Structure 1
Amino acid sequence: MNNTKIITINDNNFEKLITQEKKLLIIDFWAEWCNPCKILSPILEEIAVEYQDKLTIAKINIDQNPNTAPKYSIRGIPALLFFKDSNLLMTKIGSLSKVQLKEILDKHLIVS
């Protein structure tokens, strides 16, 4: 993940990122053992490149960062949280196809 546009965050800098990010922010809650997370990961990397001027994607490993997921009532992964101007716009639990994710993004980016 060296040349990726996706940033890695943790419990300590999660809130700071939400409050400081001006673009649409997608946060991916994931874990190493989660197969749907592994399927979603390359899709997120493609989206991060295609939409780099419009959004920021961050990943948080729930095993290494146990405090953030419960604050957002996340009980299943992968879980994508969409933030804009510090506000949670929506939560999407489970894996998505690239087409499904682009539909969500296009809807929210037009509104934003």
Structure 2
Amino acid sequence: MGKGMSIITDLDEQRFEQEVADRHEPALVVLKADWCRPCRTLMPTLEAVAQHYADRVKVYRVDINASPALAGRLGARGVPTLCLFIDGALETTRVGALSRAQLHQLIDEHL
């Protein structure tokens, strides 16, 4: 997949309400930073997981430097932080670069 072809949608404060908070579709929001090495490690794995769940879960990424207020609102203590939303409400949060198996487990537990 080329760089422009990512299945993961970039998210900022403005789009958060309409994309995540007001939606019934499950959403996985990943808070990341360009300087964060575990974030870079996580991205290809996340891309594959987003592909796998494409019809059931929408995956977003938030750059904490570009959207600090949203990162604060989502309670990011470190990066990467993964926030799973069900029916627009924050269901669970995990910090760290999860493996593909851990990501599947995180999503499957709540779907």
Check whether TM > 0.5.
yes
Q: CA deviation at 1:16?
A: 2.0
Are residue 98 (structure 1) and residue 97 (structure 2) matched?
no
Provide, for residues 14-68 of structure 1, a one-character-per-residue CA deviation record: whole Å limited to 9, x for no partner.
1221233332100000010000000110111001111101100000100111111
**Given residue 101 of structure 2, which amino acid in structure 1 is its aligned partner?**
V
Q: Counterparts in 2 of 1:36-51, with a 5 A limit?
A: 36-51=38-53
Are residue 66 (structure 1) and residue 68 (structure 2) matched?
yes
Among residues 55, 58, 66, which one is paired with 1:56 in the alignment?
Answer: 58
Structure 2, unaligned runs of 5 or more: none
**Given residue 56 of structure 1, which amino acid in structure 2 is its aligned partner?**
K
- Secondary structure of the residue that 1:2 maps to in structure 2? helix
C-alpha RMSD over aligned residues: 1.1
**Given residue 48 of structure 2, which amino acid in structure 1 is its aligned partner?**
E
Q: Counterparts in 2 of 1:18-37, with a 5 A limit?
A: 18-37=20-39
Identity of aligned residues (%): 31
> Is contact 2:29-2:60 (8 Å) kept?
yes
**Given residue 33 of structure 2, which amino acid in structure 1 is its aligned partner?**
A
CA distance in 1, matches of 2:24, 2:7: 16
CA distance in 2, matches of 1:19, 1:104: 19
CA distance in 2, matches of 1:14, 1:74: 15
Comparing 81-90 and 15-24, the one that deviates more: 15-24
> Is contact 2:7-2:51 (8 Å) kept?
yes
TM-score w.r.t. structure 1 length? Answer: 0.91
Query: What is the aligned residue count?
Result: 109
Structure 1, unaligned runs of 5 or more: none
CA distance in 2, matches of 1:19, 1:70: 16
Runs of 4+ displaced beyond 6 Å = none
